[in-house]
Structure 1
């Protein structure tokens, strides 16, 4: 699932291509909106909200989309061949005289009144990359359930919006805590740094083509995707396991030496054999 910085980049590209321009092409390929035609309307802006995208259109309309695991928005110059996937995966097309935006495999796509946006994003906590960011509120949200595992609390978009599985693992490493440590057990000095650290990581990466939490070419991430490779700090093999309620695969990575707290036993059902994804 894309992280908040990826969604922010997508929104910026869509905004630059569509905002303040009149739509000359509008094609919804989902049954619910098959008869909708937005041609002749001006796109006002494209705004990210956590992992959600809000495309506001003249006439008080908002196109709400969410990428989840496989969705993508692709941009093409007018007349250029589209290459984001087979045609049957296209869910919506919006275009003007110069650029065309094609939404592929979008699992969430709905057209609503702009005044009703709170219905789809009102439940979200402070947005790490948004104007509503409030570190104190995010901190209070996280501590509201002190017994909840840190990794699960970070992924809950109701606490703070924008963190995905990669940043979850990397934040826990930088805090020196396993993702299974209860939020309330995180040492006070580290807990106080959490909101600012999370915001810093996303802000540093929102303009980067390649995400990094370490800042070194070839070694972009500390633990994510590095199962069985040596920790970049202590050389202990990185471990990996699933975290969550089992309804969705959430691979989680951590160093058993650098990070303190509970963790699944290597022989438990949660523990799996993950192949490394990045260079050591």
Structure 2
């Protein structure tokens, strides 16, 4: 599931493949931009902003894309078979003489002037993996609505950019609270720790091919210090582990659907409302 760390890795792959190269193929397969032609333009670079991707071109144009739940960009060598999905799922093709980038199942794909990028990403809060990261601003944003559920506050990209459903569930488990507990019922120190741990988790995973939260950093190692080695082989504390024993207490992990997203939690270790 694409979250801030995954999107950053995607930006790096695209940048390495396309930056400084001239496009030989430009194919945007969405009705609004189907006739747009970027052929002949040099790719200036690809950068991530939260969970958004910005591909900038010579002439002041930017291709903005968002992966949402199952979108993906794949990079191929000349002659390599495209394996990211069936042809009808392709939304964009950007090719140079050396590499081809193919965007699959992209729910957001738009071409805009680079000077207007703020229209696409200007609403975002501090980026957990970006140069603008500011924990104090992120903390103020999260605390601004005390009645809001902590899970919703963490997922709101206007508060802090980069957290998705996986990290939300893992962070709430590590804080020992359910995602439905109002932010205002958390001690200030716990909210502060949530924000700082979020940064630690994403930084720890930004270079990993497979995401992990159990033992990802020193703080996570302390969280698992009482567990046996066999238990800590699990990559995640609760996400995707419905019905399996909690790594802390062995109580079966529960799952609930919230806003079309599965939410995982331990009914013993985490205090607060359950939906």
Q: Same fold (TM over 0.5)?
A: yes
Match of 2:274?
263
Structure 2, unmatched stretches of 5+, are: 216-228
Provide, for residues 63-90 of structure 1, a one-character-per-residue CA deviation record: whole Å limited to 9, x for no partner: 0001112211111001212111111221
SS of equivalent to 2:93? strand
Residue 235 in structure 1 maps to residue 246 in structure 2: no
- Cα deviations across residues 230-261 of structure 1 (Å, max 9, x unaligned)? 11011111111123xxxx31211111221111
- Matched ranges for 1:1-280 at <5 A: 1-215=1-215, 218-243=233-258, 248-264=259-275
Q: Using the alignment, how far apart are the partners of 2:240 and 2:82 within structure 1?
A: 31
Provide structure 1 residue ranges, at least 5 long, that are not aligned to the other structure: 265-280
Q: Distance in 1 between matches of 2:158 and 2:39?
A: 35
Q: Secondary structure at the match of 2:84?
A: coil
1 CA distance for matches of 2:252 and 2:62?
A: 47
Deviation at 1:130, TM superposition (A): 0.7
Aligned length: 260
Q: Deviations over 1:105-155 (max 9, x none)?
A: 111100000000000101111110111111001000000100111011111
1:253 & 1:143 partners in 2: Cα distance?
Answer: 23
SS at match of 1:210: coil
Secondary structure of residue in 1 paired with 2:26 = strand
**TM-score of the superposed pair, with normalisation by structure 1:** 0.90
